[in-house]
Amino acid sequence: MAARFSYPRAVRRLILAVTVPAAAAVAIQDNLYEITPVTGTSMSPTLSPDYNLTGRCDRVLWSKVSPSANLVRGELVTYRSPQRPDRTAVKRVVALEGDTVILDPRRRPGGVDRSSGREEADRTQAESWDQMGPKFEVPFGHVWVEGDNWRSSNDSNNFGPISKSLIIGHAPTIVYPWERMGTKPWEDRRRIGTRVVYGKQGVPPEGFRDMFE
């Protein structure tokens, strides 16, 4: 005798077939890996070098497993913007906690060369930059991030070092376009950016632990 068709059971199976993979995909994207396009020109020519001309952009794989652990100078990270928490940004880690950043006058908000075409930035950012310079030590629990294209980058020169708690992923590789799949062009350009004097990493300031005792 043939089994009778059960409409409610078929609906439940369909719902499970759709929701389980969807939930798994969301869990992976939120906690393990995510692929996002890198738009704009702040990381050019390292990433999306043709974006200005064609709108073509690289798609980067981000690892979200312990994103702020074992950070390395020169690697790429994606983080929540300290200015716009609803947005994420992609930049290069230039200096780690304890390092001393030798501020580059070209990267001053508003610039020093008016012929560069860079718009005058908010006066507050420029004043904050002046107060940091000419040398600035990255505080405990923070990193200094910059875009490779200093003429169009909104980075630590604008808002200071970012808390490592804002970092949501680091980049293992490019996944698209196909001819760039598996490459890490940022590893060939580690010397780009502000000069840095390496310091002691991960050493909390005196009295830091006392605040929690």
Mean of the pLDDT values across residues 67-91? 93
Q: What confidence category does residue 114 fall into, taking pLDDT thresholds of 50, 70 and 90?
A: very low
Q: What is the pLDDT of residue 151?
A: 86
Q: Average pLDDT, stretch 21-36? A: 58
- Length, in residues, of the chain: 213
Superfamily of domain 32-200: Umud Fragment, subunit A (2.10.109.10)
Task: Answer whether 70's CB lies under 8 Å from 167's CB.
Answer: no
- Work out the mean pLDDT of the chain and round it to a whole number: 80
Q: What is the mean pLDDT of residues 24-44?
A: 74
Using CA atoms, how far residue 51 sits from 10, 35, 80, 176, 182, in Å, is 47, 18, 22, 14, 20
When pLDDT is averaged across residues 129-158 and rounded to a whole number, the result is 90
pLDDT-based confidence at residue 142 (cuts at 50, 70, 90) = very high
In the chain, which ranges are continuous DSSP H helix? Answer: 7-31, 51-54, 123-132, 156-159
More confident of the two residues 25 and 155:
155
Residue 17: pLDDT band (50, 70, 90) is low
pLDDT at 116 (0 to 100): 44
Query: First vs last Cα of the chain: how many Å apart?
Result: 74
pLDDT of residue 22 exceeding 60, the answer is: no
- The pLDDT, as a whole number, for residue 46 is 93
Catalytic residues: 42, 91
- Locate tokens 């996944």: which residue? 175
176 residue type, one letter:
Y
Q: Name the pLDDT band for 210 (thresholds 50, 70, 90).
A: very low
Domain ranges of the chain: 32-200
pTM: 0.76
Helical spans, DSSP H, in 110-163: 123-132, 156-159
Three-state DSSP class for residue 43? coil
CA angle 66, 44, 61 (to 5 degrees): 30
